[in-house]
Amino acid sequence: MTTLDVTHAESQPLVAAIDLGSNSFHMIVARQDHNEIRPVERLGEKVQLAAGIDEQGLLTDEAMERGLTCLRKFAEYIDGMASENIRIVGTNALRKARNSDTFVRLAEQELGHPIDIIAGREEARLIYLGVAQTYSDDNDRRLVVDIGGGSTEFIIGQRFEPQLLESLHMGCVSYTHQFFPNGNLSEKRFREAYYSARMELMNIEKNYRSEGWVEAIGSSGSIKSVHGILAEKGIDRITRDGLKQIKRDVLQFRKVERVHFPGLKPERAAIFPAGLAILTAAFDSLDIDSMDYSDGALREGVLYDLVGRQSHEDVRERTISALMTRYHVDEEQARRVSKHATLLFQQVADDWKLNEQDLKLLQGAALLHEIGLDISHIQFHRHGAYIIRNSDLLGFSSREQQQLAMLVRGHRRTLPLQSLYQLPRAEFTRLLRLMILLRLAILLNQIRTDRLPEIELQVKDRQMLLQFPESWLDKRSLTKTNIEHEREYLQRAGYKLKYI
């Protein structure tokens, strides 16, 4: 690399991804250089969040403190970085714990940035993206398997596009507690873990086998450990025979914490037998002959996805487009509303302190506001919200998905104030203002025409002034009546709308 190239690279802003996994927390900090991601720092720490979920489904204080202690270290590395250059995701343990919102609130205070709890299939998509970046850009179909602390993801894809995505409820930490209580290890307990995994895999076995693949790739700690043990034996790929050898050697131990091999990190010993049982079951269920290992994983996928969003390669746009097609949305009207919602947003963004991510959310809601019509015209805003809330929306975090559903729910009729009141104050204010912009854009486009004049919106806190060209509104009694009705709805929310 030339001196000029080095100077250019060092001048690029840092980007960071943090993965709050069920077993370990990981962080990667990198620079984007000529469309490549160049890591400058990697940190990882075993937190075992999943092990800290009690019988009531609650994260214990001890587990939360382990996580926060780790995040205080991570916070030093991202201090001062712009929010748009950081993404933090939570996985199975935070999806599962009933009090995860408490931990997330404390963690966000430590990091100074929001945390997205992602759905299982979104986790699978990001894992695939992270793995695909480490392989050649060919057309061979590949199977990716990632055994985490609380879930295991299975993905079939080509190049950078996943085609089948599944997240199963089995992980090396959760299976350790379920099948190896008190650290006891025996052939019977291993067999129970294996068959439990086989039962889980029955849900996907037929589809995955029929889809097929050319190469199988594993990622993350459990598969890395198996690969490392076999490498010490001079075996460069994971095979069925290799797994049988390791199983035979593992069962020589009576306690999981005493398991030790060259190539196995001591801190992974206790959860290794459970991970081995899951991987063995995957090989048998899906008829995998051999598997390579990739250093790419969720955190790398999050990083590449973040950079993709910044360079207009946002998977969320494809997700919205697919929903529009599936539910037969009137695309012309949807894009008409999105266009005018954008124009209104641009006029008030500074005064209402709205940002680029808010605009993306508003545009998505504008494009999807009529999807409920495919079910029924009656209460279609509620049907639309239900569809969004309960679909697998690739690219969206759980929080983004709920916010999108809330906007669609509130795009007509009475504002859903009771639901909005349940949100933190800042989020309540932001979503309500986006909802108002969406409602106004829909109101202005009710006659479904492209012949709208320039309309100006001015705001000052909760005071709003909508300005039309002279005498334009006088000739449109329907629009004027609808604005009067909207004034009443907004007044109940504490906003005053005037128009001239």
- For 183, what's the count of Cα atoms within 13 Å in the CB-facing half-sphere? 10
DSSP assignment of 435-472: HHHHHHHHHHTTT--S-----EEEEETTEEEEE--TTT
Coil, helix or strand for 205?
Answer: helix
CA 304 to chain centre: 13
DSSP state of 395: T
Tokens coding 364: 């998505």
Encoded tokens for 34? 């000529």
How far is residue 120 from each of residues 105, 165, 233, measured CA to CA in Å?
A: 21, 9, 35
Judge whether 142 and 215 are in contact, CB under 8 Å.
yes
Asked if residues 362 and 407 have their Cβ atoms less than 8 Å apart, the reply is yes
Tens digits of residue pLDDT in 357-393: 899 999 999 999 999 999 999 999 999 999 999 998 8
Per-residue tens of pLDDT for the chain, all 500 residues = 343 344 344 557 899 999 999 999 999 999 877 656 788 999 999 999 999 999 999 999 999 999 999 999 999 999 889 888 999 999 999 999 999 999 999 999 999 999 999 999 999 999 999 999 888 667 789 999 999 999 999 999 998 899 999 999 999 999 999 999 999 999 999 999 999 999 999 999 999 999 999 999 999 999 999 999 999 999 999 999 999 999 999 999 999 999 999 999 999 999 999 999 999 999 999 999 999 999 889 999 999 898 887 666 678 888 899 899 999 999 999 999 999 999 999 999 999 999 998 999 999 999 999 999 999 999 999 999 999 999 988 888 888 999 999 999 999 999 999 999 998 888 999 999 999 999 999 999 988 877 788 899 999 999 999 999 988 888 888 888 999 999 999 999 999 999 98
Q: What is the pLDDT of residues 109-167, one digit of tens each?
A: 999 999 999 999 999 999 999 999 888 667 789 999 999 999 999 999 998 899 999 99
Handedness of CA 387, 390, 393, 395 (dihedral sign): positive
Strand partners, 456: 467
pTM greater than the 0.85 cutoff? no
Beta bridge partners of 15: 30
DSSP H or E stretch at residue 295: none
Q: Which of 342, 337, 468 is nearest to 411 (CA)?
A: 337
Cα distance between residue 319 and residue 307, in whole Å: 18
Amino acid in the structure at residue 152 = T
Strand 116-117 versus strand 141-147 pairing type: unpaired
